[in-house]
Amino acid sequence: MNKVILMGRLARDPEVRYTQGNEPFAVARYTLAVNRRFKRQGEQDADFIGCVAFGKAGEFAEKYFKKGQMISIVGRIQVRSWDDNEGKKRWSTDVVVEEQYFAESKAAFESHREAAPAAAAPAQTAPADGFYPIDESMEDDDLPF
């Protein structure tokens, strides 16, 4: 089984191109920075994983995804190989996106973007994990969904 589930922040805005032909469709490429749970001294804190979304998913990424945003994706790993101009064999591993979701609220994302330049300033609206505690005394009628 080839199934990948990732959650991380977009390292840059998605790059979107459209295929040529009678029915062009979007091909969006973006890089997801996924935090490592554990790290050895001197290692980076995150892995940067290339993702590609086709068609409607690519159009969605182009329209709604921005650098720094926390997203979650479900997809599969795809390994490609080709010969470069010098005749050397090149390899690329990407995650082909099958599903993609927002993993934080818009307010939390805006708070993260504003706090990012000032590293000393703490985030003001959302907890670090992006989830808010639920007041157990709330009745079902009080829930926002």
pLDDT in tens, 29-69: 999 999 988 777 777 788 999 999 999 999 999 999 999 99
**Pick from 13-22, 96-105, 118-127: least confident:** 118-127
Binning pLDDT at 50, 70 and 90, where does residue 5 land?
very high
Among 95, 79, 27, 78, which Cα is nearest to 57's?
Answer: 27
Query: What H or E segment, with its residue span, contains residue 113?
Result: helix 106-115
**Residue 137 confidence (pLDDT) above 90:** no
**Residue 139 confidence (pLDDT) above 80:** no
- As a whole number of angstroms, the distance between CA 85 and CA 101 comes to 38
Binning pLDDT at 50, 70 and 90, where does residue 99 land?
very high
Give residue 128's pLDDT: 54
Q: Average model confidence (pLDDT) for the chain?
A: 82
Give residue 127's pLDDT: 54
Residue 98: CB atoms within 10 A of its CB come to 14
The per-type count for the chain, helices as H runs and strands as E runs, is 2, 6
Q: Which domains does the chain have, with CATH numbers?
A: 4-103 (2.40.50.140), 105-140 (no CATH)
